[in-house]
Amino acid sequence: MRIKCRIIGFDLDGTLLNSEKHIAEHTREVLTRAVEQGIWILPVTGRPLGGLPKEVVEFPGVQYAITANGARIMETQTGGCLYERLVPVKTAEQIMEIFSDYDALREVYYGGKGYAEAEEFSRVGEYMRSPQMAAYVRATRTPVPDILQLIREKGQDTDKVQGVFKIDEERTEARKRLEAVEGIEVTGALSNNIEVNAAGVDKGNAILWFADHLGIPHEEVAGFGDGNNDIQLLKKAGIGVAMANATDQVKAVSDYITGTNDEDGVATFIEKYIL
């Protein structure tokens, strides 16, 4: 059975990228074939544009990237912004003030770049439970002396505010407190993080906006993911595909389940059902 598909959107960590944070050779080959058949391919990630691996940004056919959970749709080669929906500065302050009450690595994204509090950044390995994720953060964040002061000094709306918590109970309490903040969407890709975007921002809404921009029916959009910030992507895309390593919540909303990110799961599905 072949599925008609004209857009393939994929999460990166735990989905397209293997455990070593690279695109496997077979996956590269299959994505290249998809592009040759006129299918749009694009990352749909919680990362800022500056946090995308070079091998993804420079992959032939990747012209756009949905970043910061759908807050921005960026042109990968020029850095131009096709679409944005940001967290108001006062709301960002309110969120960061909540995170500041806990032992958390606090981050904020502006224009495709991630910033983190320097003291917490120096201890990133205490917050990131995966050495590969710790290495990614070290390579892509700019440390600043006072993250809350940065928000106030910039006075700009932000792509996303994030906290990565050392203690699970503190994460639960912080998430509960965020329920009192108006105009936000709360999710998370890791077992111990909280990601906050503007209300209405999620990966699913962003990829449907992109499909509408291209004049492509929603039922011809495929979304691949593994983490809870991928739930709306899989629910709203016409073809929702969960990785075998996905959370139970992600699998519950998917149309299909493919192999793990270390088994070329994205490529396996594309090759079997789309190409």
Residue 157, CA distances (Å) to 105, 150, 182, 201 in order:
20, 12, 15, 14
pLDDT at site 260: 98
Q: 3-class SS at 244? A: coil
Residue 47's closest CA among 66, 33, 24, 30? 66
pLDDT in tens, 209-253: 999 999 999 999 999 999 999 999 999 999 999 999 999 999 999
Give residue 189's pLDDT.
85
- Helix (H/G/I), strand (E/B), else coil: 156: coil
**DSSP labels, 90-104:** HHHHHHHHHHTTSSE
Reference 237, options 268, 206, 267; nearest CA is 206
Tokens (6 digits) for 250: 């992600």
**In the 8-state DSSP scheme, what is residue 20?**
T
Report d(CA 246, CA 250) in Å as an integer: 6
The CATH code belonging to domain 89-198 is 3.30.1240.10
Phi-psi region of 56 (alpha: psi -120 to 50; beta: other; left: phi over 0): alpha
The rounded average pLDDT for each run of 10 residues, N- to C-terminus, in the chain (275 residues) is: 94 96 97 98 94 95 97 94 96 97 96 94 93 92 96 96 96 96 92 95 97 98 96 98 97 98 98 96
**Token pair listed for 240:** 């929702």
- Contact predicate 164/30, CB 8 Å: no
Taking CA 110 as the corner, what is the angle to CA 104 and CA 116, rounded to the nearest 5 degrees?
Answer: 25
Tell me how far apart the alpha carbons of residues 266 and 146 are, in angstroms, rounded to a whole number.
40
Query: Cα–Cα distance between 84 and 137 in angstroms, integer?
Result: 23
Please state, as a whole number, how many other Cβ atoms lie within 10 Å of the Cβ of residue 38: 8
- Are 149 and 180 in contact, with CB atoms under 8 Å apart? no
Q: How many Cβ atoms from other residues are within 10 Å of residue 215's Cβ? A: 7
Task: Give me the residue spans of the domains in the chain.
Answer: 7-84+201-274, 89-198
* Ranges assigned E (strand) in 18-60: 40-43
**CA-wise closest residue to 107 among 153, 160, 56:** 160
Class of domain 7-84+201-274: alpha beta
